[in-house]
Amino acid sequence: MRIRDLPEEDRPREKALRYGFESCNDAEILSLIIGSGTKDRDVVQLSRELIANNHGLDGIAAASVMELCETKGVSLAKALSLRAAFALAERSHLQDKSSFSLFSPLSFYGAYREAFESLSNERLLLIHANKKGKIRREEIIALGNDKALLSSSKMIISSLLKEKTPCFALVHNHPSGLSLPSKEDLRSTAEIKAVADQFSLLFIDHIIISSEGYYSFRENGLLSNKAQ
């Protein structure tokens, strides 16, 4: 059923105005940003396809403009509007975290707990920081249940060097509910630290979040405890 065939009160724009954004699903909210569909698909159908092609909102947030344009019907202008919306959301998100330092594991965990503890798939987030441990930007590095989720040292270091970031941290979740690091977590974290040391980049912490709590590599003496 196309949008024009829906009762007026069930159309995304009218629903948002009358009942608030909480009454709309992800595709409906996305449709308000995209604005229009194509000849054969209305904007909500296009939004659903965009979500499916990018494996959810996290995938859309991590995608480049050109990757978003790979979904048929998403023009350069639509992709730019999406990237702009997610960029604003990220800036607002970072402002909320501006009062704490990544050198404090408990505060670090508290800032990301709500977003990570209930996820059904693993997500690896790279956090760019200044020398005081204050967040500069966030970047999703990997998504999924891949056992080699952390085997992204080249991508991580490349991003840090490109952005001229002196310090960084990692956070990822364990959907299993266990917060203790796996052998792969230990191996990959050590590898990333070794490469970071070669470029004089400070690896502040790596936090694993699960429903049972958190594990901090810094707090457990597996990363440098020297604050800058």
CATH number at residue 78: 1.10.150
Return the closest-CA partner of residue 53 out of 79, 35, 29, 86.
Answer: 79
Which residues, 6 or more positions from 136, have their beta carbon under 8 angstroms from its beta carbon?
A: 94, 128, 129, 130, 163, 165
Cα 130–Cα 60–Cα 43 angle in degrees, nearest 5? 145
Q: Is residue 223 part of a domain?
A: no
Domain boundary residue, one of 45, 63, 94: 94
Residues 60 and 126 in one domain: no
Residues 87 and 101 in one domain: no
Q: Is residue 134 part of a domain?
A: yes
Q: Give the pLDDT of the chain (228 residues) as one tens digit per residue.
A: 456 655 555 678 888 888 787 788 888 888 888 988 888 888 888 999 999 998 888 788 878 889 999 999 999 999 999 888 887 776 665 555 656 789 989 889 988 888 888 788 888 899 999 988 888 888 888 776 545 556 578 889 999 999 999 999 999 999 888 899 989 899 889 999 999 999 999 999 999 999 999 999 999 999 865 544
Q: Is residue 57 part of a domain?
A: yes
Residues 129 and 169 in one domain: yes
Residues 36 and 134 in one domain: no
Residues 113 and 67 in one domain: no
Domain boundary residue, one of 65, 94, 123: 94
Domain boundary residue, one of 94, 124, 151: 94
- Residue 195's domain comprises 97-216
Residues 88 and 109 in one domain: no
Look at the chain and report how many structural domains it folds into: 2
Residues 184 and 209 in one domain: yes
Report the distance separating Cα 174 and Cα 181, nearest Å: 9
Residues 30 and 114 in one domain: no
pTM exceeding 0.95: no
